[in-house]
Amino acid sequence: MTVRLVPHPASFPADPPRDPDNAWSVAAHDWHAFDQVTTMVNHWDRPNWGPGMRAGYWLLTFSSPLLVSHARQCQVRIRHLGFDEIEMQSMHLTLGRIGPASEVPLTQLRSLAATVRRQRLPHGFPLSAIPMTASRGAVRYSVAPWTPVLSLHAELAQASSAVGLPLLSATGHLRPHLGIAYCNRVLPASEVRAAIEPLRMLPPVQLFVDRVQIVEMWRVEGAYQWQVVEEISLPATA
């Protein structure tokens, strides 16, 4: 499925990279976008997350020992910023919000998973996690290539529509990334750039995506937690 990336003010970066499948193009584009940020914001200041709220999400999760070691190294190097570090078992790439649990019960999530399993999903694919950049509210890896991630998102969005669920955010607005720490207050972005720029010399981490998960997610102090509702394997490569 061909996906056209489009500019969107709520995405970060707002404009897509010139070559979303080239790791260095993506990394340079992400860094350039962050270089324009003057002030970090509190990631947790989100009015759509009320107390006790739970919501269904599509996630890619990772348990690679190499990624764990690499991410911990980066977290240690930026610990003086006082950000909320993402636990290693919670490393994830968010593909989209399905809907609040009050509106999308588990039965609908399971129906959604069954629909997705009947679709022609993209094969499992390699993904590079490229250190290190940030958005206005988090420190994160850039990732590449984007095309298989976008193709997967488009299939998931199509399935949501087919079972009558709210539409996922547009695939063309997606900017895949992998966070390691959430900003928990307002502060100058220059402090964050100074902390993470040396980490850009570290080598990328090679990952492989072979499944996607539906989770029910909730927030606790300084972190997200979730339970897996459904896990869907991607077809093996030929």
Quote the domain boundaries for residue 140: 23-45+53-233
Tell me the pLDDT tens digit for each residue of 137-177: 999 999 999 999 999 999 999 999 999 898 889 999 999 99
In a domain, 65, yes or no: yes
In a domain, 41, yes or no: yes
In a domain, 109, yes or no: yes
Tell me the pLDDT tens digit for each residue of 170-226: 999 999 999 999 999 999 999 999 999 999 999 999 999 999 999 999 999 999 999
Q: What is the pLDDT of residue 26?
A: 98
DSSP β-bridge partners for residue 219 = 224
In a domain, 16, yes or no: no
Q: What is the pLDDT of residue 204?
A: 97
Q: What is the pLDDT of residue 215?
A: 97
End-to-end CA distance of the chain: 18
Q: Can you state the angle between helices 189-196 and 65-77, rounded to 10 degrees?
A: 130
Would you say residue 87 has pLDDT above 90?
A: yes
CA 16 to CA 4: how far, in whole Å? 10
217 CB contacts (<8 Å, ≥6 apart)? Answer: 54, 55, 56, 57, 224, 225, 226
In a domain, 14, yes or no: no
CA 191 to CA 139: how far, in whole Å? 12
Would you say residue 238 has pLDDT above 70?
A: no
CA 124 to CA 212: how far, in whole Å? 10
CA 185 to CA 140: how far, in whole Å? 17
How many domains does the structure of the chain reveal? 1
- pTM to 2 decimals? 0.95
CA 108 to CA 214: how far, in whole Å? 11
Tell me the pLDDT tens digit for each residue of 88-120: 999 999 999 999 999 999 999 999 999 999 999
